[in-house]
Amino acid sequence: MADSEGPRSLPDSETPRFGTLCVHGGEARFKPCHSITDPVFFTATYTFENTAAVLEYVEKKLPRDEYGRYSNPTERVLEQKLAALEGGESAVTFTTGMAAVTCYLMSKVQSGDEIILFDECYHRSREFCKKVLGKFGVVTHQIPACDYEKMEAAINSRTKLLISESPTNPHLSVVDLERFAALGKKYGVETMIDATLATPYNVRPLEYGVDCVLHSCTKYLGGHNDLLAGAVIGRAEVIEPVRKLRGVMGVNLTSQTAYLLLRGLKTFELRMERHNQNGLALAQFLEQHPRVQKVYYPGLPSHRDYEIARRTMRGYGGLVTFLVRDADAEATARIVDAVRIPHIGPSLGGAESLIEQPIVMSYHDFTMDQRRAIGILDNMIRVACGLEDTADLIADFAQALDH
């Protein structure tokens, strides 16, 4: 595809700012048929003029496509844009965030290796490490979130990966990325941050020396509650083994989904500004409300990790978790049901606000003791602020809490 190798829209000598990268980053200036958008390709395979062309492709590793399970042109533009936004050398995308998690982990570990992760993490990631990788002789150590001393103490000669989310879900703990990356460097262990809740708008972990960033693009990067996708980004030597395994596992995006993501990313900066504004305003409103016992939001000075968040994050995102004062599970559910703007549903990062009671939604198959152990309480509500008007959202929560 000569077109996708055409001149980049942004000269290397200038450093475009984030909003410019959202619109133009990773894209060729001139595209097939003079289209301003990148086309969607409905094709399973790609053809060669003659045998010499095949040999040239193989020998020179030309950036063209061969077969749909390895790559497609729209996906490649998306990967270039994500790499530009994250400030990384290379990106690889997947059908879902979990496909990114599982493919990344499987490309990095083998029987006898050990993984250390902070325990506040996406429950399916923890499940994959413990139940699936465990079957193949990989040992996972769970460390309380942000306990760097305990993490360091757990490192040994078999340790292959240090992993965390930041911010975590639903407690919104924020990792000191400098300290986390330094641990990896000190012991020669690769570090990975699932930065789905932060997004490259709010923090760019690679700048702090973290080796690899992972995203569920289903959330803010997609941004419209209409697609599933995942990505990992980092130096080429970190990413290329993951891309190789993706080709074997067959979990790359379709051209249509890559297009939807590219389209959504054009407005990414604008959307994040509103998500951040709504999240902070709702957190501040809830914190002063007499029916609210506690708010988890890293942009509030009351949050344990406020200082780290303030130092490292441009904004704190749209996710707000809170505890209802003197409420059991039923009284908490009544507040969820009284809210009119957010839909009840899992996920976050889309235009539509979403609300859930974690004990009923994501953790219903956990026992009470298991939930308590990971801090999922009966009176907890998680709100994923969307793009609605800030005052409307706050008025809605005011009426629901007074209900």
Return the half-sphere exposure (C-beta side, CA atoms, 13 A cut-off) of residue 206: 23
d(CA 99, CA 295): 32
> Of 12-20, 43-51, 214-222, 251-259, which segment contacts ligand PLP by CB under 6 A?
214-222
- Taking the least distance from each CB to ligand PLP, the nearer of 97 and 279 is 97
For ligand PLP, the binding residues in 141-200 under the rule CB under 6 A are: 165, 169, 194, 196-197
CA distance 325 to 380: 10
**Using CA of residue 152, residue 153, residue 158, residue 163, what is the dihedral sign?**
negative
Phi-psi region of 325 (alpha: psi -120 to 50; beta: other; left: phi over 0): beta
Told to check if 312 binds ligand PLP by CB under 6 A, we report no
| Position of minimal CB gap to ligand PLP | 97
Q: Which is nearer to ligand PLP, 169 or 357 (CB)?
A: 169
Judged by CB under 6 A, which of 84, 85, 91, 98 binds ligand PLP? 98
The distance of closest approach from Cβ of residue 54 to ligand PLP in the complex, given in angstroms and rounded to an integer, is 36
Which member of 96, 142, 199, 332 binds ligand PLP (CB under 6 A)? 96
Output the CA torsion sign for 47, 48, 50, 51.
negative
Options 8-16, 110-118, 213-221, 364-372: segment touching ligand PLP (CB under 6 A): 213-221
Residue 31 contacts ligand PLP per CB under 6 A: no
Binding segment (CB under 6 A) for ligand PLP, from list 14-22, 96-104, 184-192, 278-286? 96-104
Q: Specify the amino acid at residue 358.
A: P
CA angle 177, 264, 85 (to 5 degrees): 35
CB of 125 to ligand PLP, least distance (A): 6
Nearer to ligand PLP (CB atom), residue 71 or residue 95: 95
Query: Nearest approach, Cβ of 232 to ligand PLP (angstroms)?
Result: 11
Q: What is the CA radius of gyration of the chain?
A: 22
Is residue 230 at the binding interface for ligand PLP, with CB under 6 A as the rule?
yes
Helices (H), 48-92: 51-60, 73-86
Output the smallest distance, CB 82 to ligand PLP, in A. 14
CB 175 within 8 A of CB 311: no
Identify residues 193-212 at the interface with ligand PLP (CB under 6 A). Answer: 194, 196-197
And the tokens for 198?
Answer: 């932060």
- How far apart are alpha carbons 260 and 385 in whole angstroms? 21
Looking at the Cβ atoms of 93 and 379, the one nearer to ligand PLP is 93
DSSP annotation string for 315-360: ---SEEEEEETT--HHHHHHHHHH-SSSEE-S--SSSS-EEE-TTT
Q: How many residues bind ligand PLP (CB under 6 A)?
A: 14
Minimum CB–partner distance for residue 334 and ligand PLP (Å): 27
For ligand PLP, the binding residues (CB under 6 A) are 96-98, 122, 165, 169, 194, 196-197, 216, 218-219, 228, 230
